[in-house]
Amino acid sequence: MTATDRALELTRKAAEAAVDKLGTDLIAYDVSDQLAITDVFLVITASNERQVGAVVDGVEEALRALDAKPVRREGDREQRWVLLDYLDLVVHIQHSDERKFYALERLWSDCPVIPLGLDERR
């Protein structure tokens, strides 16, 4: 099984919004073969808590324009690692320290990477 077209659309829109808010080191994994609960994990790094919040706001606003609202949101109080669950897509916005410590890439490296086609240096 591969990620649905809707999941890919949400992923690309979320990635664009994250880059616009200066999110970095974006990577998207097609986890549809590994997990029944979602199709895509999008992982984004932010350099500080305020930037984590800005990326979260940008992603939510961009996906709201596609009539998508997160069914679950976790970590927004601490602004160190915020998880936004859109069912087809789970977005992880992590402070750079959390990104290094938890190394989600290591856990999901056997899953296909979804090309985002973004220039993070806009």
Q: How many domains does the chain have?
A: 1
Band (pLDDT 50/70/90 cuts) for residue 80 is very high
103 burial type by CB count under 10 A (0-12 exposed, 13-18 middle, 19+ buried): exposed
Q: Is residue 45 part of a domain?
A: yes
Q: Is residue 121 part of a domain?
A: no
Domain encompassing residue 21: 5-114
CA distances from 44 to 1, 36, 61, 91 (A): 24, 22, 16, 8
Q: Is residue 66 part of a domain?
A: yes
Specify the pTM: 0.94
Q: pLDDT of 102-113, one tens digit each?
A: 999 999 999 999
Measured over the CA atoms of residue 77, residue 80, residue 83 and residue 84, the dihedral's sign is: positive
Integer Cα distance of 54 and 21 in angstroms:
6
CATH assignment at residue 67: 3.30.460.10
